[in-house]
């Protein structure tokens, strides 16, 4: 599909999306994460499924690109984000503030499930994300067609 075709039809998810994700706050423990910008490049497959790549802003997110596999049903959207390496931030135990610097820790990054809705009239996606393995801090996200 051409870029023009994707832009002319708001129900086509294929194309470039510019967004931002953030970790949620945990009262008394964690003040919430710094926003991280990302770029999604998506291709439609069949029956509402799509795939693509994701690139975080390397100054605040992960440096290597990741992969996306997802599906949509009406206005609902779901996708799995897989990153090749895990990057972490340090948290100051006294202030509960998270450092702006990230470092690669050498372990595989856990898979992340993004869920949300497609606001087709606004060409925007928004929702929540969480790690597939429970027990980790979730967050929110949004993206607009680039």
Q: How far apart are CA 15 and CA 145, in angstroms?
A: 7
What per-residue confidence (pLDDT) applies to 56? 93
Percent of the chain at pLDDT > 70 equals: 77
Binned at pLDDT 50, 70 and 90, residue 17 comes out as very high
What per-residue confidence (pLDDT) applies to 90? 65
What per-residue confidence (pLDDT) applies to 63? 83
What per-residue confidence (pLDDT) applies to 131? 92
Every domain of the chain and the residues it spans: 3-145
Model confidence pLDDT, tens digit, residues 40-98: 999 999 888 999 999 999 887 888 899 999 999 989 999 999 998 776 666 667 776 66
The pTM of this model reads 0.79
SS (H, E, C) the chain: CCHHHHHHCCCCCCEEEEEEEEECCECCCECCCCCEEEEEEEEECCCCEEEEEEEECCCCCCCCCEEEEEEEECCEEEEEEECCCCEEEEECCCCCCEEEEEEECCCCCCCEEEEEEEEHHHCEEEEEEEECCCCCCCEEEEEEEC
What per-residue confidence (pLDDT) applies to 89? 63
62: exposed, middle or buried (C-beta count within 10 Å: 0-12, 13-18, 19+)?
A: buried
**Under CATH, which number does the domain 3-145 receive?**
2.40.128.120
What per-residue confidence (pLDDT) applies to 1? 44
């Amino acid at each position: 599909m051409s870029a023009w075709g994707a832009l002319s039809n708001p129900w086509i998810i294929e194309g470039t999306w510019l967004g931002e994700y953030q970790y949620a706050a945990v009262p008394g423990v964690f003040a919430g994460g710094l926003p991280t910008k990302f770029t999604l490049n998506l291709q439609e497959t069949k029956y509402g499924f799509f795939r693509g790549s994701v690139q975080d802003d390397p100054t605040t997110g992960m440096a290597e690109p990741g992969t996306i596999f997802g599906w949509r049903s009406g206005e609902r959207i779901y996708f799995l984000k897989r990153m090749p390496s895990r990057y972490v931030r340090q948290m100051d135990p006294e202030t509960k503030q998270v450092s702006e610097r990230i470092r690669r820790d050498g372990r595989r990054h856990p898979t992340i499930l993004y869920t949300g809705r497609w606001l087709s009239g606004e060409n925007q996606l928004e929702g929540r994300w969480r790690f597939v393995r429970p027990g980790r801090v979730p967050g929110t996200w949004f993206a607009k067609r680039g």
